[in-house]
Amino acid sequence: MIATLKRDASVCKAMPISNVPEGLGETDVMRKASKVLNYRPDLSEIRRAKETAETILRSNEIRAFLAGLDDPPFTAVSVAKYKKRMAAKAARPWSENLSIAGIACAIVALAVGIVAGLMGIFSSDAHALCGWALLVGFGLAITSICLNVRFDFLGNPMLVKTEVQWQAYSIAEYRKAIPEFAAQTATDLKERFNTLEFVIEELQVRRNERILLELSDPFLVAVLPDGSWYHLEVWNEPTFKGQRMA
């Protein structure tokens, strides 16, 4: 899976910055106009635009630095492919997949049975088809439900539902071990750019709201002031040995 990840400095292209008027409302002319004409312009939008421009400027400085690293961030395309493959690897158990397929087939069979039943008024063959279709449909439905039913600690039946999704945790809230090279990368960057934040992104498998598994190969992700994400490191967990996997 790691082989699908690719690093490329070109992902750190600078974002365009809008030109914002400097000192608008603070010049001698505007101060005099405010006093003489009682002119009170609403500069909130311009202030927000200026703040946005400053945020992008700080983020572009970080992008330029990340692009110059020996190991630049992973490309968004390779990360997306990697995530998709890892999610497929942690897909539903065979019984749940078979149950879903069985229920779909049961719906089709029951629909055929109903149509054949309506046509059976005019044809004995259609009447026979109706019986077989309904029998198969109900059989598939019962079998599919049984495949995907479990009992809780009180003995009550419940349908099993598995969810596979990537979850992000602030590095300050992350309690699992991370390798030294990832910690070193985050520490060095944070010391250089105080506005930079980090999250750990990992694949999580939930079944009926209960976490079953947090799979291997989490990402160290840098979050820039403008909200952009850059995946910097990935490691194999729980067997990492302090070395990069990609």
Q: What is the pLDDT of residues 93-149, one digit of tens each?
A: 555 555 556 566 657 666 766 666 666 555 556 556 655 555 666 665 666 555 555
Cα distance between the two ends of the chain: 10
Tokens 């599919």 belong to residue: 144
Tokens of 126: 């259609």
Is the pLDDT confidence value at 219 over 60?
yes
Q: Of 26-40, 62-76, 193-207, which gets the smallest average pLDDT?
A: 26-40
3-state secondary structure of 210: strand
Burial class of residue 110, CB neighbours in 10 A (0-12, 13-18, 19+): middle
Contact 80, 15 (CB under 8 A): no
User: Could you tell me the two tokens for 29?
Assistant: 């002319």
Q: Angle at Cα 225 formed by Cα 222 and Cα 228, nearest 5°?
A: 55
Task: Please report, for the chain, the start and end positions of each structural domain, with discontinuous segments joined by +.
Answer: 2-13+22-72+161-234, 94-159
Q: What is the mean pLDDT of the chain?
A: 76
Q: Which residue has the higher pLDDT, 239 or 78?
A: 78
Using pLDDT thresholds of 50, 70 and 90, give the confidence band for residue 211.
Answer: very low
> CB pairs under 8 A, 24+ apart, for 80-85?
81/4, 82/1, 82/2, 82/4, 82/5, 83/166, 83/203, 85/1, 85/4
pLDDT digits (tens, 9 = 90+) for 14-32: 988 877 666 666 677 877 8
The runs of H, that is alpha helices, within the chain are 28-36, 44-67, 76-89, 94-119, 124-147, 180-192
Q: What pTM does this model have?
A: 0.67
What is the phi/psi pair of residue 206, to 5°? -115, 140
- Tokens 């400085």 belong to 61
